[in-house]
Amino acid sequence: MTVEAERAITAEQELGWRRYYRMQTQLLGVLNRELSQETGLSEADYEILITLLENPDHTLRARDIRAALIWEKSRLSHQLRRMEARGLIRRDDCAEDARGAMVIMTPAGQEIIERAECARLRAVNDHLIAVLSEDQLRALADISETVLTHLGIACSAHQEM
């Protein structure tokens, strides 16, 4: 069997995949560096704080954050400990379940995530939205939804805003 016959995808498909992979990796790297430089937040800090911000009382059970972010329990625990030490969140016992913990965004956490959200939206506009046409943006949204649906990941309301 030839090398070409063994390929699971064509050369053109592979090129498309490699370009997408490089774009996604580089774009996320730029966005994360700019977020860190402007706010001091890591991507993990941002993900947790934005998840809390989306809830009216800025409070969630730790397990619900873990499920929303699809993180391992130990990763979330370590990240929450670091964020608590920096005063971005606090943890309280869960009234309904003594085994659970409630994660509450502090005023300092709220102030920094509001700044970070502005910085992130500005960076997304500068590095993605401003360089694509309306047709390309629609295609990107359609492609993303198709792949996420295939993976069994539903788009949440905040992702569709």
pTM across the whole model: 0.81
Shortest CA distance to 62 belongs to which of 155, 153, 72, 54? 72
What are the φ/ψ torsions at residue 41 (nearest 5 degrees)?
A: -85, 145
At the topology level of CATH, where does 11-128 sit? Arc Repressor Mutant, subunit A (1.10.10)
The CA dihedral of 13, 19, 21, 22, to the nearest 10 degrees, is 160
Per-residue pLDDT reduced to its tens digit, 110-154: 999 999 999 999 999 999 999 999 999 999 999 999 999 998 876
Reported as a single tens digit per residue, the pLDDT across 15-41 is 999 999 999 999 999 999 999 999 999
Q: Which long-range contacts (CB under 8 A, 24 or more apart) does 127-131 make?
A: 127/27, 127/30, 127/31, 128/27
